[in-house]
Structure 1
Amino acid sequence: MRPRSLNLRAMLSLALFLASPFVFAKGYPDKPIRLIVPYAAGGSTDQLARIIQKPMSEYLGQPVVVENKPGAGGAIGTDVVAKSAPDGYTLVFGNTGPNAVIQLLRKVPYDTLRDLRPISTVAIAPMILAVPADSPAKSMKEFLAYARKQGTAMNIGSVGNGSLSHLTSEYFNEMAGLKMEHIPYTGGAPLMTAFLNGQVQAAFVTGLDGAVMVGSGKVRYLAVASPGRTEVVPGLPTMAEDVPGFKSQAWFGVLAPKGIPPEVEKKLRDAITKAVAQPEVRKIFIDRKVEPRSGSAEDLEKLIRDEIGQWNPVITKFNIRL
């Protein structure tokens, strides 16, 4: 009977060992990984996800499949991942909107910091103040003087109510003592069209949204809202040089369901780091005016917490709701 008892004990130990996340991680991944983009195909978030898709697949040895699940400002796709098994096979390519801002604007069925585990940033996109090419303002100082003179007669556009470009516009009005009228559109393309039609005299955009128009010479950038000058928009001054303390930038990154095994998390972060470091990936990102930047889970979590702290007072003061 004693040998049988030992065998039973050994079997139980083996079962516990095999169930350990560390053993599971050694064979990870052994099937394709879903990378959920919570927006429609072709948008800025989708573009960046597809740029790192191939190098991540090569590093991991399994296909990383981009899957678009748009709706509710990114909340639908994000919620799918928040409710998925924490096994590393379902991830979300997220950004500022559904992971920091939208939860301040309305009730959503998940909490990013409670239900998701940040894996790594992928890119940072500073907000850029854009004006039509024929604007009389050729610098930030000229723009501020012109906007103060125009008051509410001057329109500032955004890609939609509750978007980062909207929040940045209200924040800018407050910080700079302006009264520009906010005009929401339904995305980057309609906003850029509004420039051509003379409907708006300014807007905060990412380089991803403004690249085509700037390249055509129909839109001009005045300043970048990053904390310091950046290589992605060389030669452009920061807004903080004329409006002290002003900053606004979007992040793009990968998150997983809370509870993902540490070794799986590390393997995914390594794959993202390798992908973002590839020269061809960096060039594509910089050409699109976004800064390639991988980092730790703690780095991304801090970005999310900082954004909640920055935008919550703006949303409350201006009573912004979706």
Structure 2
Amino acid sequence: MTYSGRGAWRYLRIGVVSGLLLIAGWAVASDSFPQKEITVVIPYVAGGPTDVLLRDIFRAAQPYLGQPVSVEYMPGSGAVRGAHYVKEAASDGYTLLVSHQALDLAYLAGQASFYHAHFAPVSMLIRTVSIPTTYAGHSAQKASDIAALVSQRARPLAFGITHNSNDHFFWLQFFEQSGISPADVLMVYFPDMTSQVEALLAREIDFAMLDMPSSGQLYTSHALTALGVASSERLPGLPHVETLREQGIDLVNTTDRGILAPKDTPPERLAILASALAQAINDTQLRYRLAYDYGSLIDYRPLAAYSNYMDEQFHVLVPLAEQVHFKR
């Protein structure tokens, strides 16, 4: 969920090239796949950040796959509904899941009986930087203003969150780093990020953790105010917005998106899929759009490398989950 500045940005080209070399042998071994349309399941509503990002990536990957790619939306139960559908699908490489931390968080929250280890990893693709946000005209102009406002206000400030999600953990870490007691704020729960954006625009809540895919145009039009970016460096698309670390808040946070397939999908098919995705995100125009328009870092990790990364992040999430009294 974190990355380290310039080294990470340089890593994208090295990672893609290395990944292509590692999976080239597998890809050559089974050039008859795919022979029909591939279905990508997005376990969220259409138009959300995951949809925006992955549609662009799969559009670029389609020529390398040689077959059409269709998107199916299956929101519900904190991404569990869509994940369960892919988990039970045929292990043939034709049904894929777009995933991020929500899958493991649902397991830790007792909402699902499965987590990332019950799937076959294709590749990690991008990490999207989290952005604490408020509506235009709010008295908070920087993230570092929030702690003082919490102590000064007669009524609790309202923070939008999606229950048991990455933004839930973001705010808990933010409160800890800012010296804010969760008991002094009002947590307002929403089903997804899109509904949080709508509530923020309507001034029904004070703050939400958003990102560039969901709110980039709203930042540009000044309908919403980015209070800081949870990255090691300022975002290319928001160069005037300070990082949280520049404001004295030691917090780096990203939503890490990748592709999973049903367990026991043949490794040579996984490799072909990973190769197509690697070639897609190596496209110069797509890389620029992901960085500047979508505030996302390309962090390509194919197959076993993605599996190892998810294992590491899972062990980071477990103690955090215990802090919010998850059932597991």
| Fold shared, TM-score > 0.5 on shorter chain | yes
Q: CA deviation at 1:230?
A: 3.8
Which residue of structure 2 aligns with residue 215 of structure 1? 220
Distance 1:24 1:299, change over 3 A: closer
- Aligned-residue sequence identity (percent) comes to 24
Distance 1:148 1:277, change over 3 A: farther
Amino acid at match of 2:270: E
C-alpha distance after superposition, 1:114-157 (max 9, x if no partner): x2122112221111111222123333433333334448722212
Which residue of structure 1 aligns with residue 156 of structure 2? 153
Q: Distance in 1 between matches of 2:316 and 2:155?
A: 25
Q: Distance in 2 between matches of 1:168 and 1:299?
A: 25
Amino acid at match of 1:167: F
User: What secondary structure is seen at the aligned counterpart in 1 of 2:300?
Assistant: coil
Contact residue 40 and residue 95 of structure 2 kept, 8 A: yes
Q: Distance in 2 between matches of 1:309 and 1:194?
A: 33
Which residue of structure 1 aligns with residue 126 of structure 2? 123
Q: For structure 1, which runs of at least 5 residues remain unmatched after alignment?
A: 1-20
Q: CA deviation at 1:186?
A: 3.1
**Which residue among 138, 142, 145 is the counterpart of 1:139?**
142
Q: Would you say 1:73 and 2:75 are equivalent positions?
A: no
Which residue of structure 1 aligns with residue 310 of structure 2? 304
Contact residue 142 and residue 227 of structure 2 kept, 8 A: yes
Q: Distance in 1 between matches of 2:140 and 2:189?
A: 22
Aligned pair count reads 298
TM-score of the two chains, using structure 2 as the length reference: 0.80
**Which residue among 251, 261, 267 is the counterpart of 2:272?**
267
Alignment of 1:84-99 (within 5 A): 84-98=89-103
Amino acid at match of 1:83: E
**Which residue among 207, 211, 232 is the counterpart of 1:206?**
211
Q: Distance in 1 between matches of 2:309 and 2:135?
A: 31
C-alpha distance after superposition, 1:166-205 (max 9, x if no partner): 2211221123211332112233333223323333222211
Which residue of structure 2 aligns with residue 112 of structure 1? 116
Distance 1:107 1:247, change over 3 A: same
TM-score of the two chains, using structure 1 as the length reference: 0.82
Q: Distance in 2 between matches of 1:269 and 1:23?
A: 13
**Which residue among 58, 73, 78 is the counterpart of 1:53?**
58
User: What secondary structure is seen at the aligned counterpart in 2 of 1:214?
Assistant: helix
Which residue of structure 1 aligns with residue 106 of structure 2? 102
Amino acid at match of 1:263: E
Which residue of structure 1 aligns with residue 174 of structure 2? 172
Q: Distance in 2 between matches of 1:266 and 1:151?
A: 57
Contact residue 117 and residue 258 of structure 1 kept, 8 A: yes
Alignment of 1:22-33 (within 5 A): 25-33=30-38
Distance 1:320 1:241, change over 3 A: farther
Which residue of structure 1 aligns with residue 298 of structure 2? 292
**Which residue among 168, 182, 186 is the counterpart of 1:181?**
186
Contact residue 271 and residue 303 of structure 2 kept, 8 A: no
Contact residue 194 and residue 200 of structure 1 kept, 8 A: yes
Which structure would you say has the larger Rg? 1
Higher relative contact order (CA 8 A, sep 6+): 2
C-alpha distance after superposition, 1:44-92 (max 9, x if no partner): 2222222122322211111222222222221122122222333222211
Contact residue 166 and residue 184 of structure 1 kept, 8 A: no
Q: CA deviation at 1:104?
A: 0.8
Q: Distance in 1 between matches of 2:163 and 2:64?
A: 39
Distance 1:187 1:246, change over 3 A: same
Contact residue 108 and residue 326 of structure 2 kept, 8 A: no
